[in-house]
Amino acid sequence: MARFDYDLACIGNAIVDVLAHADDARIARLKLNRGVMTLIDAARAEELYALMGPAIEISGGCAANTAAGAAALGGRAAFIGKVRDDQLGQVFTHDLRAQGVTFATPPSKAGPPTARSFIFVTPDAHRTMNTYLGACVELGPEDVDEAVVGKAGIVYFEGYLWDPPRAKDAMRKAARIVHAAGGRMAITLSDPFCVNRHRDEFRSLLGNEVDILFANEQELTSLYQTDFDSAMLKVVKDVEIAALTRSEHGSVAVRGDEVVHIAAESVKRVVDTTGAGDLYASGFLYGLTQNLPLEVCGRLGSICAAEIISHMGARPEDGLAELAAPVLKAAR
Amino acid sequence: MARFDYDLACIGNAIVDVLAHADDARIARLKLNRGVMTLIDAARAEELYALMGPAIEISGGCAANTAAGAAALGGRAAFIGKVRDDQLGQVFTHDLRAQGVTFATPPSKAGPPTARSFIFVTPDAHRTMNTYLGACVELGPEDVDEAVVGKAGIVYFEGYLWDPPRAKDAMRKAARIVHAAGGRMAITLSDPFCVNRHRDEFRSLLGNEVDILFANEQELTSLYQTDFDSAMLKVVKDVEIAALTRSEHGSVAVRGDEVVHIAAESVKRVVDTTGAGDLYASGFLYGLTQNLPLEVCGRLGSICAAEIISHMGARPEDGLAELAAPVLKAAR
């Protein structure tokens, strides 16, 4: 019998992505913050949507993407996050459950609609995200289901949860339950601007409630306000494991004295980088839950990231498990 | 000054496509009618969605796809069809307008939700469609805006409109207005089963209200209950122009004694055939509105069809106009 009912429980904003291609002229004209995530209100959401080209809708949300990726690899995954009882909420719920992720957070029955992120993908395949949090602001400690987080080997949450008002309380509650049950807490810093908004709280989390950290280079150096190498020396003292991604330069995984460099997977054609970090976390965390060496965890992360950037959207297409199979087979 | 305000007005079911990959085992297990469009009710829609894999949402609807394609080529296009005032209705409306299509049919404020089609794409890239008509059943003659159909060079409608109860009355009203204004009526037979449902009415339409016909081989032979060549001899007497598609074998365009064979465009990798016929009609009709020879109309149709089957969904991605530009330039 497995010790935990779930390998991985993810907590995050429940968002449907609205994706369209856009050239740089449009990015400039709409005064978007290229390459990062900007929070927008309902009025700006309406304005931006009206100025966006024809779009496609694909479920998203960082932590939800990570849960979907882990489930696609064969992991037992759960998600906690807040939608409204509207059509986009149904879409989000369907897509997660259809991927095999347990998702039972009750939708809100009043208030703002299900969150959406208007994502403009530029010709260089980079994404510029504009997120209207909608129903996500309703997530609170009452949504942290002990039957899920108390039964998960790893509980992973996104730094973006520090943006809506009550989600951080939900996280703190989760951390208490997880550690009491012998599980581990993992966080992704989400993006450099998110780190700017919440640096002190994130620093305090790492020293206390968090065991595993995911960050890219910009996020890490922003968090510690120093260069990458110095930040790496600091982070090993704050967390048990840090997985640090550097885009096409691959990633570095550190645990105490152990430092492992992982190359990025080669990708035939990068179509849309949305979800690269989220899916890296899917692969890495799935590896950890299978007690695989850091090097294998990192390779699984790279494989998942490579799959997600080869098509539009941040949810894996069919065949992710097949891509990972050779690495898993060699490692077991 | 152009004689018409719109090159093309399309009338059809306003549908959001919900697309997912599925293997043949799943098609069999769900008892789907492989390769065709099946109408489903609300209960079956819920059941099928629950059993479908993670999906993506892309606006669809045959005639709406055709309007979007014509607009992408630079045509002045309009669409008439019924959504509800819900989130999927907003998605459908946004995507058409963002493509430059005039769409002003008032959404229904009560009754069934915006239509959706659950589309299972099999490994051979063929699509199996299951359509819940939802708000489309509300379309009636009152929605036929004379300021649109009376100002359009060609009014195109889908045979699928014979499925909802009042849409055929809307079509007959449109035909009267169009012909009085000196425009032409075009129809697509939509699919062989649709022809089976409405054969006699379609035959009567062709002899009377319709000037331009789009049909694939199965639809044409089903309509006339004979082989392809015999059907072709009949259809030239019933309509001014017939554009007859034969999948990878290309298409045949006929007008009186004129018969033009058009090769299919080669496609690097066929991903999803959804919308192939719709986009063929976009190119062909755009050519007609530009007074180009049948051969060029057919080539434009083939180019648009090739673009749409090279990716998921039935709405053109960026770059359709560039693909068509060499043919247009040579023809002008």
Complex ipTM value: 0.94
Radius of gyration of chain A (CA): 18
Query: How do the residues of chain B divide into helix, strand and coil, expressed in percent and rounded to 5?
Result: 45, 20, 35
> Is residue A129 assigned to a domain?
no
pLDDT grade, residue A168 (50/70/90)? confident
Q: What is the pLDDT of residue B222?
A: 95
Q: Which of A214, A222, A213 is nearest to A278 (CA)?
A: A214
Q: What is the mean pLDDT of residues A179-205?
A: 94
Q: What is the pLDDT of residue B164?
A: 87
Per CB distance under 8 Å, which residues of A are interface residues toward B?
20-21, 49-50, 52-59, 68, 86-88, 91, 94-96, 98-99, 113, 313, 315, 317-318
* A-B Cβ pairs (cutoff 8 Å, strict): 65
Q: What is the pLDDT of residue A332?
A: 83
Rounded Cα distance, B226 and B199, in Å = 13
> Is residue B304 assigned to a domain?
yes
Q: Considering chain A, what percentage of its residues have pLDDT values greater than 90?
A: 93
Interface test with B, best of A46, A83, A94, A99 (most B CBs within 10 A): A94
Nearest CB partner across the interface for B87, out of A53, A87, A99: A87
Q: Is the pLDDT of residue A59 over 90?
A: yes
Residues recorded for chain B: 332
For the entire predicted model, the pTM comes to: 0.95
Reading the block at residue A274, the tokens are: 């949305």
pLDDT tens digits for chain B (332 residues)?
468 999 999 999 999 999 999 999 999 999 999 998 999 999 999 999 999 999 999 999 999 999 999 999 999 999 999 999 999 999 999 999 999 999 999 999 999 999 999 999 999 999 999 999 999 999 999 999 999 999 999 999 999 999 888 888 999 999 999 999 999 999 999 888 999 999 999 999 998 999 999 999 999 999 999 999 999 999 999 999 999 999 888 999 999 999 999 999 999 999 999 999 999 999 999 999 999 999 999 999 999 999 999 999 999 998 899 999 999 999 98
Q: What is the mean pLDDT of residues A132-146?
A: 95
Radius of gyration of chain B (CA): 18
For residue A77, the chain B residues in CB contact (below 8 A) are none
> Is residue A121 assigned to a domain?
no
Q: What is the pLDDT of residue B172?
A: 92
Q: In what order do the strands lie in the sheet with A258-262?
A: A102-103, A77-80, A6-11, A152-158, A184-188, A212-216, A241-245, A251-255, A258-262
Q: Which of A83, A33, A38 is nearest to A60 (CA)?
A: A83
Rounded Cα distance, B235 and B195, in Å = 15
> Is residue A218 assigned to a domain?
yes
> Is residue A116 assigned to a domain?
no
> Is residue B30 assigned to a domain?
no
For residue A50, the chain B residues in CB contact (below 8 A) are 94
Chain B residue closest in CA terms to A71: B54
How far does A325 lie from chain B, in Å, by closest CA?
20
Residue identified by tokens 């289901």 is A145
Rounded Cα distance, A138 and A166, in Å = 7
Q: What is the pLDDT of residue B212?
A: 98
> Is residue A232 assigned to a domain?
yes
Reading the block at residue A140, the tokens are: 């609170």
Rounded Cα distance, B277 and B27, in Å = 22
Total domains in chain A come to: 1
- Residues forming beta bridges with residue A108, ordered by sequence position: A84
B246 is in which domain, residue-wise? 6-13+60-107+138-331
Burial of A114 (0-12, 13-18, 19+ CB in 10 A): buried
Burial of A324 (0-12, 13-18, 19+ CB in 10 A): buried
pLDDT grade, residue A1 (50/70/90)? very low
> Which CATH number fits the domain that encloses residue B235?
3.40.1190.20
Q: For residue A148, what is the DSSP state? A: H
Rounded Cα distance, A188 and B115, in Å = 38
For residue A101, the chain B residues in CB contact (below 8 A) are none
Q: What is the pLDDT of residue B2?
A: 62
Rounded Cα distance, A82 and A107, in Å = 6
For residue B95, the chain A residues in CB contact (below 8 A) are 54-55
Contact flag B98-A54 (C-beta cutoff 8 Å): yes
Q: What is the pLDDT of residues A241-257, one digit of tens each?
A: 999 999 888 999 999 99
Nearest CB partner across the interface for B87, out of A50, A56, A86: A86
Rounded Cα distance, A8 and A149, in Å = 9
Chain B residue closest in CA terms to A58: B56
Interface test with B, best of A15, A56, A307, A308 (most B CBs within 10 A): A56
CB-based contact A303:A329 (threshold 8 Å)? no
For residue B50, the chain A residues in CB contact (below 8 A) are 94
For residue A68, the chain B residues in CB contact (below 8 A) are 54
Q: What is the pLDDT of residue B1?
A: 44
Reading the block at residue B195, the tokens are: 């022809």
Interface test with A, best of B93, B94, B274, B282 (most A CBs within 10 A): B94
> Is residue B266 assigned to a domain?
yes
Element (H, E) at A118: strand A115-121
Backbone φ and ψ of B114, nearest 5°: -55, 140
